[in-house]
Amino acid sequence: MHDGVPWLVADPKAIRLEWKNRWQMALRDLEQRQQSARAGLQATESAATRARLEALADGYAAQHRALKLLLADLGLAGVADLTTYLALKTRLPTQMGLMAYEANVFRDWVWGQTENEAALSAIDAALADGEHDTCLVLGAGAGRLAYDLHQTQTPTLTVAVELNPYLTTLTRKLADGEALTLVEFPLAPDSGAHSAIPRTLEAPAASAAGFEVVLADVMRPPFQAGSFDLVVTPWLLDVIDGDTSALLGLVNRMLRPGGRWVFQGSLAFQRPDPLRNINLDELRELAAANGFEVGPIEESEQPYLDCPESRHGRRERIVTFAAHKQRAAPEVPRQQSLPDWLAKGRGPVPALPSFQNQAMATRIHAFIMSLIDGQRSLKDMAEVMEAQQLMPKAEAEEAIRGFLIKMHDEAGSDRGL
């Protein structure tokens, strides 16, 4: 249990370490962004630019303080510097970084009334012909939909499941009636003053009894079979790494006979394997194969992340439907956990071919970096590579150029430039 949120995961130590690294990386990223903004103030005399950079610098500092306060009770503090986290590849992935869903936080709890009401209305319509007493929201994000469903549908129990501790902590505190202050950084602010906006996040009221927040992996749900009358998957299927059919099988298992699954989202799959980028027709087939009968499908065009102080926003064709569980789904293979040598540190680390290849690549990269002395040119470095019989000079020069272009780009990205 952390700050009122149970962590129900297969390997809590490994998950804790991962989020500890990501939290430290997020804090250090904010520190570096603040430093970059302050440095920019020394390089410009433009009043408009100075106003924007001052707002950003103050905003990054305020957000840094707010995050430390919000997550202090999780015990995620660390002492490593930024270069260590970069070397260990503790970066903020597009989908699972600590702050990856920051815009959703402010949509849910500050300015997104139109979007929140549209999502809730569509689900209410899908559920109009039935009742439920126990509700599970998988991939609850910042928690507003789960909260709204609990307040309006009035089940005895609603469980909001999310794997990101920033989002679970925030949801728990807001649902308990706390007010939080965070800083929003709109993607395309409509003025310099709106580059960093202090926001007060607050629920309309403390949640009714029976609203629970759990940190867990949606592909390894920690619930007994038949625990829920209703399972909702909002904007989930297209962002998880797991197999869609396997997830539907898990949803089926957690529902009682006759229970209902509600899907809501845009079906914007962007997985590397085109076989897995399913459309609505394929989703209906998968639902049927996993024991569901899909009811009427509603499609509506709705605003999405339409921050009023930003010039950026979009509209999405949102799909919503409810499906009844008609029969049990085929058995879902258990999701494999990490091996003991990795998760628990037991036994020798195997010399996997991928590790050996990476080791060789790392040695070559280290050798190239050792050649950077502030004096050598690309041609000079290529001559050393040839002298060491690593690569012909002409080929080495192009290879080094490509490697350093990547390093240069990543350095700019890490600085927030």
**DSSP states of 140-169:** -TTSHHHHHHHHHH--SEEEEEES-HHHHH
In tens, the pLDDT along 323-357 reads: 999 999 998 876 655 566 665 667 788 888 777 77
Instruction: Say yes or no: domain 100-325 is CATH 3.40.50.150.
Output: yes
pLDDT band at 416 (very low <50, low <70, confident <90, very high): very low
62 neighbors 31 (Cβ within 8 angstroms): no
pTM of the model: 0.81
Q: What is the pLDDT of residue 90?
A: 44
User: Half-sphere exposure of 313 toward its Cβ, with a 13 Å CA cutoff?
Assistant: 17
Q: What is the pLDDT of residue 398?
A: 86
Structure token digits, residue 358: 């990476």
Q: Across residues 133-151, what is the average pLDDT?
A: 97
In tens, the pLDDT along 171-209 reads: 999 999 999 999 999 999 999 999 999 999 999 999 999
Domain positions in the chain: 100-325, 351-414
Higher pLDDT, 241 or 261: 261
Most confident of 127-131, 311-315, 405-409: 311-315
pLDDT for 220 beyond 50: yes
254 neighbors 221 (Cβ within 8 angstroms): yes
